[in-house]
Amino acid sequence: MAMTDRLIYLDNAATTFPKPREVLDRMLQGYIEMGVSPGRGSYDLALEAEDFVQRARKQLALFFGAPDADRIIFAANATDALNIALNGLLQPGDHVISTRLEHNSVLRPLYHFRERGWISYDLVHFDDKGFVDPDEIGRLVKQNTRLVLVSHASNVLGTVQPVKEIGRVCAERGIPFIIDASQSAGKIPIDMTAWNISAVAFTGHKALFGPTGIGGLAVCPDLDIKPSRFGGTGVDSRSPIHTEAFPQRLEAGTINLIGIMGLSAGIDYIMQKGMASIHGEEMALLKRLRDGLSSLGHVEMYCAGDLSSHVAVLTANVGDVNPDDAGAIMDGDFNIAVRVGLHCAPLVHEDLGTINRGAIRFSPGIFNTPEDIDHAIRAMASMS
């Protein structure tokens, strides 16, 4: 089988690659012209940098339907944002409801808190199509339930969870509701206000087309997240106490300006191209992949029968081939990059029966072509 000259990158769920050229250009140019510390100095350029950061917060607030731009908190990535939220919210004796679809960015902090005897939690199962039932979440609510935390789109199955309905269930019971939007932000619209979402944890380097190292937490005013990291904020320097004012309350230290520049440019890119258009293109590629793999007798796909509530992620196994080896063959023989293993979401694989083996994850992006997908199908067909 002919090897292609260029890498066919089908690992966009890990990080989008390549980044749009205009995003990289704007990052570089912005940092050349304004790479100073925002919100600290009183010289004009520092004020301009701070003004840029505030505009980025407003841009993100609009993007997520968040009511208050000052409560757009910049973090290193979604894991960092989730840790800020969990450390600042949970108290000893609290109960949390989450799902078995979660990434380790949620599972490990929860496990850490539980092992220390601080919290208890329940994890809702997903059905054979890859979705959790909002009513099941409602049934698990206890008197001490402090938080419901759900991954908007599974990084293994690509299934988009019914967060609007889950938000309603939580709002009826007065329980804060946080979503992990790592796989959804930039692919499908999110409206925190309309959907009763208390906070959105997002990362910049996936479907928002920014660089690695930038992400954040969009927080509603009624969610009281205490600071869990303390330090310089550029505000009220004489006080030994970390400021209560947002956004600095949850941002200690100098923020990642070049990352914010990239994130802002990435969102502009999405708005210019159209989120629905991007999602539509990616899903057309995914459907082509799903249909092509379906025609191969020896490929097993997981929760890919109906793609109507999916993002462009498809996970499969091929015959008895170890997924590690399948990934190596795709890479070495076909110049195709896919992600194999457990995808940092071990409970999903436990429930799929692939915990001891793992699986191959395909996640096409807007820079892929139908020919790329056909090549991936041929690569899978070569393995038996």
Partner 1 sequence: MTAEEEREKLLADLGREARVVAGREIYFDWEGFFWDPNDWNEEVARILAKESGLEDLTEVHWKVLRFFREYYFYHGRAPMNRHLKEGARLSLGEIESLFPGGIRRGARRLAGLPNPKSCF
Using rule CB under 8 A, residue 272 touches partner 1: no
- Which of 68, 96, 61, 67 has its CA nearest to residue 82? 96
Using rule CB under 8 A, residue 329 touches partner 1: yes
Using rule CB under 8 A, residue 322 touches partner 1: yes
x/- map, 281-320, partner 1, by CB under 8 A:
----------------------------------------
Using rule CB under 8 A, residue 7 touches partner 1: no
Q: With CB under 8 A as the contact rule, which of the stretches 70-78, 144-152, 291-299, 336-344 interacts with partner 1?
A: 336-344
Using rule CB under 8 A, residue 325 touches partner 1: yes
Structure tokens at 259: 């990352």
Tell me the closest approach of the beta carbon of residue 212 to partner 1, in angstroms: 18
SS3 297: coil
Contact assessment for residue 228 and residue 75, using Cβ atoms and an 8 Å cutoff: no
**Look-up: residue for tokens 């400021």?**
243
Backbone φ and ψ of 3, nearest 5°? -85, 135
Alpha-carbon span 169 to 137, nearest angstrom: 8
Tell me the closest approach of the beta carbon of residue 329 to partner 1, in angstroms: 5
Question: Taking the CB of residue 129, how many other CB atoms lie within 10 A of it?
Answer: 12
Q: With CB under 8 A as the contact rule, which of the stretches 18-26, 181-189, 304-312, 340-348 interacts with partner 1?
A: 340-348
Residues 172-211 that bind partner 1 (CB under 8 A): none
Between 155 and 243, whose beta carbon lies closer to partner 1?
155
SS3 250: helix
Exactly one of 342, 373, 376, 380 binds partner 1 (CB under 8 A); which one?
342
Using rule CB under 8 A, residue 371 touches partner 1: no
Q: With CB under 8 A as the contact rule, which of the stretches 133-141, 234-242, 332-340, 363-371 interacts with partner 1?
A: 332-340
Between 210 and 346, whose beta carbon lies closer to partner 1?
346
Write out the DSSP string of 146-180.
Answer: EEEEEESB-TTT-BBP-HHHHHHHHHHHT--EEEE
Alpha-carbon span 129 to 302, nearest angstrom: 8
Contact assessment for residue 218 and residue 69, using Cβ atoms and an 8 Å cutoff: no
Question: Taking the CB of residue 77, how many other CB atoms lie within 10 A of it?
Answer: 22
Exactly one of 141, 270, 321, 352 binds partner 1 (CB under 8 A); which one?
321
Q: With CB under 8 A as the contact rule, which of the stretches 57-65, 70-78, 185-193, 335-343 interacts with partner 1?
A: 335-343
Residues 351-370 that bind partner 1 (CB under 8 A): 358
Residue 291's Cβ-side half-sphere holds a number of Cα atoms within 13 Å equal to: 9
Using rule CB under 8 A, residue 4 touches partner 1: no
Exactly one of 37, 344, 367, 378 binds partner 1 (CB under 8 A); which one?
344
SS3 5: coil
Residue 183's Cβ-side half-sphere holds a number of Cα atoms within 13 Å equal to: 29
Per CB under 8 A, residues contacting partner 1 are: 321-322, 324-325, 328-329, 331-333, 339-344, 358, 382-383
